[in-house]
Amino acid sequence: MKNFINLSDIRKDDLRKIIESAKLEKKQSSKKKKLIGKTLIMIFEKSSTRTRLSFELAIKQLGGEFLALNPKESHYGSGDESIYDTAKVLSQYGDIVMMRAHKHKHFLEFSKHLEIPIINGLTDLSHPCQIMSDVLTFEELKGPITNKKIAWLGDGNNIVYSLIEAAVQFNFQLAIACPKKLEPNKEIINWAKNKKANIIVTKNPKEAAKGADAIMTDKWISMGDHSNKKYKKKLLKDYQVNEKIMKLAKSDAIFMHCLPANRGEEVTNEVMDSKKSVVWLEALNRVHVQKSIIQWCLK
């Protein structure tokens, strides 16, 4: 059974195949209904606009159907039914699950009891589907991502976790700028370093941005982040992506953000709405990557 949980679990050549098949999906606009009779079950423990809608569109375009389970309106996670029993039932109703979970640990626990594949639609640890869409977007605009320089400015969060994994799997240079206290997950940094990845972590946003092909950021306060917001925003104020920072990157560099964004915090309006910004294409490409990921899991 093929789950899509973290990019480091998946073979490099499989990830490359998923990207190439997403490029084809986009060209064909999915005229071929390859998943007729298949059902995707979606579970959202926290809010979503893009992940929910892009998975709904993806399965519909492939000829399949979806069911959405809202934990607040079901027995799932409420304590009156074990997750083992819920997983058994869902394994009969659907062919594949996509889940957005608060805790990665709980996601893994649930996945162990399922008898059908599961896709990680974001946890507190990682967001692999987003980064696959970002690789597709980058390559669509700039050609192969291998050896290109991607700069990350801001919080060491779940998006950057998957970005670090992608830097290893797709062989690109990654420069992460963040305050010492907000550095990304140490385990994944060490994993990447053991794989001889071309990654630097610095406190200096200018160093990271210099000569980059793309500058990426994300909200300073993620969903479910209960840290002191005022203090965290103060720590991050020098990591805002603004026109000054964009000028340090290559002249044709792009600006990327998974969205939702907090305009005026991690990014200025000028950058979000500039010609360099590719944020809408990133959101659109989610649909094509989801189609490719679902089919890879079901093959």
Which amino acids are annotated catalytic? 100, 127, 130, 218, 258, 286
Does residue 189 interact with ligand CP by CB under 6 A?
Answer: no
Q: Binder to ligand NVA among 53, 223, 248, 261 (CB under 6 A)?
A: 223
Q: Which stretch binds ligand NVA (CB under 6 A): 88-96, 187-195, 218-226, 291-299?
A: 218-226
Secondary structure of residue 111 in the 3-state scheme: helix
Does residue 177 interact with ligand CP by CB under 6 A?
Answer: no
The burial of 64, by beta-carbon neighbours within 10 Å (0-12 exposed, 13-18 middle, 19 or more buried), is given as buried
Amino acid sitting at position 111: S
* Backbone phi, psi, residue 176, to 5°: -105, 125
DSSP 56: H
From CA 242, how far away is CA 101, in angstroms rounded? 32
Does residue 149 interact with ligand NVA by CB under 6 A?
Answer: no
Least separation, in Å, of the C-beta of 225 and ligand NVA?
A: 7
Does residue 209 interact with ligand CP by CB under 6 A?
Answer: no
# of chain residues touching ligand CP (CB under 6 A): 9
- Which is nearer to ligand CP, 41 or 122 (by Cβ)? 122
Tokens representing residue 72 in the block: 């607040």
Draw the binding track, 240-269, toward ligand NVA (x: CB under 6 A; -: no contact): ------------------x-----------
Contact (CB, 8 A) for 129 and 4: yes
Q: Which stretch binds ligand CP (CB under 6 A): 28-36, 88-96, 254-262, 268-276?
A: 254-262
Per the omega criterion (within 30 degrees of 0), is the bond before 260 cis? Answer: yes
Does residue 217 interact with ligand NVA by CB under 6 A?
Answer: no
Draw the binding track, 98-137, toward ligand NVA (x: CB under 6 A; -: no contact): ------------------------x---------------
Nearest one of 50, 74, 51 to 4, comparing CA atoms: 51
| Residue whose entry in the numeric block shows the structure tokens 């607040």 | 72
Give the total residue count for the chain: 299
From CA 291, how far away is CA 62, in angstroms rounded? 7
Q: Binder to ligand NVA among 86, 158, 169, 290 (CB under 6 A)?
A: 158
Q: Binder to ligand CP among 6, 51, 61, 126 (CB under 6 A)?
A: 51
CB-based contacts of 72: which residues, under 8 Å, 6+ apart? none
Residues near ligand NVA (CB under 6 A) = 122, 157-159, 218-219, 222-223, 258
